[in-house]
């Protein structure tokens, strides 16, 4: 069996700029430069990057605080906040990089998938920007960008397996090239971050003194560390489905029923904090981790059976906001150790939505000359856009049984 290790990617590559490459602004290199713009959900992000993957300047405006208060993302609110911030965020990224629009080689912007109203703001802004400055436009698929971000941090050769888990996504895919993906499985209902956000809201964790500023997933991880997961043995979802798809809605229903029952037992009204929130958090986190681990295990076995990953040093990349959960990472480490894969998790900053990952995707496309459009071509956004070629039916037909693996995780 191949040795397995979990690697945290904490360092960006440092490329020294030759003085002769330095622009009048002091920082920009002589290589081609890409401006990346992200507005697909609730983060307004922009970054300027050179062709070597060096981040020259970036800016990010997060709407998290607003959405935490309203109890979820309201698309019109997200749209308004993107509108209010996009020009400033782009301007800041340009200023911090010391690059003026004329020096850019292209503008890369997320156009799919995401919230229609949010995508529209980024696309409208980018369309007028590229027309004004006569710059090529590179439309970006948000999930492809998540999947490829790891390659900005260290060389990871194609093909590799990728698990993307966040508030909006849950999928397993094989990345075979910059624009070549095989979709092995995705969520049938909601994403794990969404589930944890909703459970946290149902538990009113915002009222917990240690959780008031945390996202639902962060609050659950924090409280779970002191909880006893065995007190609430939730069923891991989809035990009888031998594919790589995910489902979290049924699990959330189990959790909600348990919360209601416990409220009744404790004589507590909905909206007040239960005495056993840590135990519920621990059980929730364990069930989510266990579901993710099982589907990922099957995806690894499927890839091995079909020869989809290299025999030497096969890699699993895990990204998205939920990937910063240490308990989930440990569960996935147990699976990669059992199957001989390397596990790579970009640091949290690069797991979540930002302009940098979009700029990097633009760089990868620019290098390969793929998907670069003239400034006057009309591009539309696509709220729903599958990632790559969907082979979920083939995965289901293979019906691979996953051998039992004990997820013994200590905090
Ligand atoms: O990638 P992201 O910033 O935005 C998208 O959803 O696209 O991910 C945010 C999600 C939220 O649902 C949040 O609750 C979850 O990631 N999250 C976590 C943790 N940190 C953030 N979930 C579990 N454990 C965490 N430590
Ligand atoms: Zn995302």
**Both structure tokens of 118:** 């949010």
Structural domain 5-135+353-379, CATH architecture: 2-Layer Sandwich (3.30)
- Residue 16 confidence (pLDDT) above 60: no
Whether 298 and 244 have beta carbons less than 8 Å apart is answered as yes
- Provide the pairing of β-strand 315-319 with 342-345: parallel
Region 260-284: mean pLDDT is 93
pLDDT of residue 411: 64
Percent of the chain exceeding pLDDT 70 equals: 92
Determine whether the shortest distance from the Cβ of 190 to ligand 1 is under 6 A.
no
Ligand 1 close to Cβ of residue 217 (< 6 A):
yes
pLDDT in tens, 347-387: 989 988 999 999 999 999 999 999 999 999 999 999 999 99
What is the residue extent of each domain of the chain?
5-135+353-379, 160-346+390-398
Q: What is the mean pLDDT of residues 123-151?
A: 97
Domain 160-346+390-398 top-level CATH class:
alpha beta
Give yes or no for residue 286 having a pLDDT over 70.
yes
Q: Average pLDDT, stretch 123-128?
A: 98
Residue 172 Cα, ligand 2 centroid: separation in angstroms?
14
DSSP assignment of 342-376 equals EEEE--HHHHS--HHHHHHHHHHHHHHT-S-B-TT
- Residue 325, pLDDT above cutoff 70: yes
- Say how many Å lie between the first and final Cα of the chain, rounded: 27
Q: CB of 216 closer than 6 A to ligand 1?
A: yes
User: If you measure from the C-alpha of residue 321 to the centroid of ligand 1, how many angstroms do you get, rounded to a whole number?
Assistant: 4
pLDDT (average), residues 77-94? 96
Sign of CA dihedral 167, 173, 174, 180: negative
Residue 128 CA, ligand 2 centroid: distance in Å: 24
Q: Does ligand 1 lie within 6 Å of residue 285's CB atom?
A: no
Q: pTM score, two decimals? A: 0.90
CA 325 to ligand 1 center in whole angstroms: 9
Report which DSSP code applies to 157.
P
Q: Is the CB of 38 under 6 A from ligand 1?
A: no
């Amino acid at each position: 069996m191949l040795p397995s290790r979990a690697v945290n990617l904490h360092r960006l590559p440092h490329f020294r700029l030759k003085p002769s490459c330095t622009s009048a602004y002091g920082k920009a290199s002589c290589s081609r430069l890409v401006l990346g713009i992200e507005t697909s959900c609730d983060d307004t992000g922009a970054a300027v990057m050179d062709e070597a993957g060096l981040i020259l300047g970036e800016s990010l405006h997060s709407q998290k605080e607003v959405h935490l208060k309203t109890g979820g993302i309201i698309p019109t609110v997200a749209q308004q906040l993107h509108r209010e911030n996009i020009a400033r965020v782009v301007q800041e990224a340009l200023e911090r990089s010391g690059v003026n629009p004329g020096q850019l080689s292209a503008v890369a912007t997320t156009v799919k998938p995401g919230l229609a109203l949010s995508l529209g703001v980024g696309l409208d802004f980018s369309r007028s920007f590229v027309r004004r400055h006569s710059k090529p436009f590179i439309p970006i698929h948000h999930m492809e960008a998540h999947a490829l971000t790891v390659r900005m941090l260290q060389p990871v050769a194609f093909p590799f397996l990728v698990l993307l888990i966040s508030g909006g996504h849950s999928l397993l895919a094989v990345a075979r090239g910059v624009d070549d993906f095989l979709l092995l499985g995705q969520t049938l209902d909601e994403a794990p971050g969404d589930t944890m956000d909703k459970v946290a809201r149902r538990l009113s964790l915002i009222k917990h003194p240690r959780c008031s500023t945390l996202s639902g997933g962060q609050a659950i991880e924090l409280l779970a560390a002191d909880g006893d997961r065995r007190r609430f043995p939730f069923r891991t979802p989809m035990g009888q489905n031998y594919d790589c798809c995910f489902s979290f809605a049924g699990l959330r229903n189990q959790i909600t029923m348990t919360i209601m029952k416990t409220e009744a037992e404790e004589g507590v009204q909905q909206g007040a904090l239960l005495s056993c929130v840590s135990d519920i958090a621990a059980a929730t986190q364990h069930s989510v981790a266990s579901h993710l681990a099982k589907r990922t295990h099957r995806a690894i076995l499927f890839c091995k059976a079909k020869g989809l990953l290299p025999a030497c040093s096969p890699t699993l990349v895990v990204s998205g906001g939920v990937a910063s959960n240490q308990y989930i990472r440990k569960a996935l480490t147990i699976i990669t150790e059992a199957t001989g894969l390397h596990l790579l998790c970009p640091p949290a900053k690069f797991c979540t939505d930002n302009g940098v990952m979009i700029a990097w995707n633009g760089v990868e496309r620019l290098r390969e000359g793929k998907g670069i459009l003239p400034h006057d071509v009309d591009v539309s956004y696509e709220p729903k856009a599958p990632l790559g070629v969907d082979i979920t039916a083939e995965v289901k037909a293979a019906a691979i049984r996953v051998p039992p693996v004990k997820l013994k995780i200590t905090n």
